Amino acid sequence: MDKFLLRPACARDAPAIRALIRSVRINPASLDWRRFIVAVAPNGELIGCGQVKPHADGTRELASLAVRPAHRQRGVAGAIIEQLLAENQPPLYLICRNGLGPFYERFGFRAVLQAEMPPYFMRLMRAARMFMKVNLLVMLRQ
């Protein structure tokens, strides 16, 4: 595992968080730096991030998890997830590509059937199928 520091994001991290999220092509909505944990390399470069995002219906989502390609497969994402889980009590939802289900299962998440989904996630899944033509998975950690 490479060396990196996890810390709460600060205002000066906001541009790097936005840039990283856009570069990995995940949902850029609701990127409030105050909710983020960031992973920082020894040289100060922001190499990963993640947040728990609240929704109007009271649900919360593990979201915006991203790691720079050069730093993947080195424990960065797992460390960010563990920190966010330690700071946020269940239930927590997340949305991911189908193939990432086993990765999140290691952290106690399970796939949710459509009938179990809160309205926000149901709407998002419908939109993803209709406009993005991708298969996504909604998962829950209770």
Query: Is the predicted pLDDT of residue 1 greater than 60, yes or no?
Result: no
d(CA 135, CA 142): 23
In this structure, the number of other CB atoms found within 10 A of the CB of residue 73 comes to 10
pLDDT band at 124 (very low <50, low <70, confident <90, very high): confident
- Computed over every residue of the chain, the mean pLDDT equals 93
Report the CATH number at residue 127.
3.40.630.30
User: pLDDT for 59-70, tens place per residue?
Assistant: 999 999 999 999
Which residues, listed in sequence order, are joined to residue 138 by a DSSP beta bridge? Answer: 95
Q: What is the pTM of this model?
A: 0.92
Residue 85 has pLDDT above 80, yes or no: yes
* pLDDT at 17 > cutoff 90: yes
The answer to whether the beta carbons of residues 6 and 83 sit under 8 Å apart is yes
**Dihedral angle, C-alpha 14, 141, 115, 128, nearest 10 °:** 30
Q: What is the rounded CA–CA span in Å between residue 118 and residue 15?
A: 31
Q: What is the pLDDT of residues 23-55, one digit of tens each?
A: 998 888 889 999 999 999 999 999 999 999 999
101-136 core/surface letters (b: 16 or more CB in 10 A; e: else): eeebeebebeebeeeebbebbeebbeeeeeeeeeeb
| Whole-number pLDDT of residue 127 | 80
Expressed as residue numbers, the domain containing 17 is: 5-141
More confident residue, 18 or 135: 18
Q: Domain count of the chain?
A: 1
Decide which of 128 and 110 is more confident: 110
Q: Which of 109, 49, 40, 116 is nearest to 84 (CA)?
A: 49
Q: Are 94 and 61 in contact (CB under 8 A)?
A: yes
